């Protein structure tokens, strides 16, 4: 989920903590738990700092190690231990339990996005993205805002957010069913499909869907249960070609491939060399595919600039590639 949603979820879990008699009877303890769960609800995304290094490192590791099983166990200990130093009178067990809940829910809800996480790492480093909920879901966000308003008007925060989360559990089940209905319809038209890559949108009834068969990659969208075909491309393994082989050694392209499960590629000859471009097919927006990796090489197949990330215009891509060229 996005940062704003994780923040409101942290505050919501703090409201739930008022149902814990050990916490509720001590105002200082409640303040400590509230601070801990808000930070805990953000902690797995602390890897955003990797953007300061470069996009390749960020894409390769974001939602990876910091969302893994060891991290889910470690973050609560670190955060609880830090706050316990300033309030040793609080029950460490209860502080840890509420902080653990905040961290766990962060990773758990991220699994329902198309982006996914490596939540089972290190036992399984496969990306888990169920494609049920958009990165930002207005219903989830404003359900929390409604809970905050009710809390401000004097309603019990514990029961308020217990109700909010009960409603959200039903909402997740419904969204999961809607997503499965889309997949069933796609499977009906493509019984030979080897994989479906589904991405939800802001609209509850609209999904982006890439259907992979043994021969084709079909880029489609589902609107109000009607599947519409947008584009189709041949599906084949990355060929063993000198130009592509040279590009695959570039750190930006290798990061892209470590994350993207469905893509197409283009090889273009330039006046001074070659350009290799990989395009993620999952995120089509207004006829444009914004998540790409581009490598430009000279005649000797030595990369002189590259970029991977979200690009929404050709002009922006050229600026990024020029920046990359200056940094080499």
Distance CA 210, CA 283 (A): 9
Band (pLDDT 50/70/90 cuts) for residue 116 is confident
Of 25-29, 152-156, 254-258, 306-310, the least confident: 25-29
**CA distance to 33, 112, 318, per residue, from 153 (Å):** 22, 32, 52
**Residue 75 clears pLDDT 90, i.e. is over it:** yes
Of 15-24, 119-128, 174-183, 209-218, the least confident: 119-128
DSSP conformation letters of 243-293: HHHHHTTSHHHHHHHHH-SSEEEEEEEETTEEEEEEEESTT-BTTB--EEE
The burial of 10, by beta-carbon neighbours within 10 Å (0-12 exposed, 13-18 middle, 19 or more buried), is given as: buried
Nearest Cα neighbor of 105 from 95, 92, 119, 94 is: 119
Nearest Cα neighbor of 156 from 19, 11, 30, 14 is: 19
The pair of three-digit structure tokens given for residue 167, joined into one six-digit string:
């409603």
The distance from CA 159 to its chain's CA centroid, rounded to whole angstroms, is 30
Distance CA 213, CA 191 (A): 9
Strand, coil or helix: what is 74? Answer: helix
The distance from CA 117 to its chain's CA centroid, rounded to whole angstroms, is 7
Distance CA 259, CA 125 (A): 11
pLDDT of residue 21: 93
pLDDT of residue 25: 84
pTM for the whole thing? Answer: 0.89
Distance CA 290, CA 313 (A): 8
Please state the rounded mean pLDDT for residues 22-34.
91
pLDDT of residue 291: 93
Please state the rounded mean pLDDT for residues 242-250.
94
**Residue 52 clears pLDDT 80, i.e. is over it:** no
The pair of three-digit structure tokens given for residue 67, joined into one six-digit string:
């969302």
Band (pLDDT 50/70/90 cuts) for residue 204 is confident
Band (pLDDT 50/70/90 cuts) for residue 327 is low
Strand, coil or helix: what is 186? Answer: helix
Nearest Cα neighbor of 192 from 173, 216, 174 is: 216
Please state the rounded mean pLDDT for residues 239-247.
93
Band (pLDDT 50/70/90 cuts) for residue 51 is confident
**Residue 325 clears pLDDT 80, i.e. is over it:** no
**Residue 32 clears pLDDT 80, i.e. is over it:** yes
pLDDT of residue 61: 80
Nearest Cα neighbor of 325 from 264, 289, 273 is: 273
| Mean residue pLDDT across the chain | 92
* 274-311 residue pLDDT tens: 999 999 999 888 888 999 999 999 999 999 999 999 99
């Amino acid at each position: 989920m996005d940062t704003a949603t994780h923040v409101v979820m942290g505050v919501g879990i703090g409201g739930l903590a008022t149902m814990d008699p050990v916490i509720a009877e001590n105002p200082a303890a409640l303040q400590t738990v509230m601070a801990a769960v808000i930070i805990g609800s953000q902690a797995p995304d602390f890897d955003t700092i990797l953007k300061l290094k470069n996009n390749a490192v960020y894409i390769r590791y974001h939602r990876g190690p910091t969302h893994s099983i060891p991290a889910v166990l470690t973050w609560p200990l670190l955060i609880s231990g830090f706050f316990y130093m300033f309030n040793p009178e609080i029950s460490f067990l209860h502080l840890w339990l509420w902080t653990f809940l905040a961290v766990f829910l962060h990773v758990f809800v991220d699994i329902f996005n198309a982006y996914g996480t490596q939540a089972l790492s290190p036992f399984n480093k496969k990306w888990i993205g169920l494609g049920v909920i958009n990165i930002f879901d207005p219903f989830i966000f404003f359900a929390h805002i409604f809970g905050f308003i009710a809390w401000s008007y004097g309603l019990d925060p514990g029961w308020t957010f217990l109700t909010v989360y009960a409603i959200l559990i039903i909402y997740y089940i419904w969204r999961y069913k809607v997503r499965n209905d889309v997949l069933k319809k796609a499977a009906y038209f493509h019984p030979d499909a080897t994989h479906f890559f589904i991405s939800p949108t802001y609209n509850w009834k609209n999904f982006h869907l890439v259907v992979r068969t043994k021969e084709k990659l079909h880029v489609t969208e589902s609107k109000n249960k009607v599947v519409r075909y947008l584009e189709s491309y041949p599906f084949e393994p990355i060929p063993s070609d000198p130009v592509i082989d040279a590009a695959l050694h570039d750190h930006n392209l290798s990061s892209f491939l470590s994350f993207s499960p469905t893509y197409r590629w283009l090889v273009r000859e330039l006046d001074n060399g070659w350009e290799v471009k990989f395009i993620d097919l999952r995120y089509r927006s207004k006829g444009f595919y914004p998540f790409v990796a581009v490598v430009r090489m000279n005649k000797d197949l030595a990369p002189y600039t590259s970029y991977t990330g979200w690009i929404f215009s050709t002009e922006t891509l050229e600026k990024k590639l020029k920046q990359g060229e200056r940094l080499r």
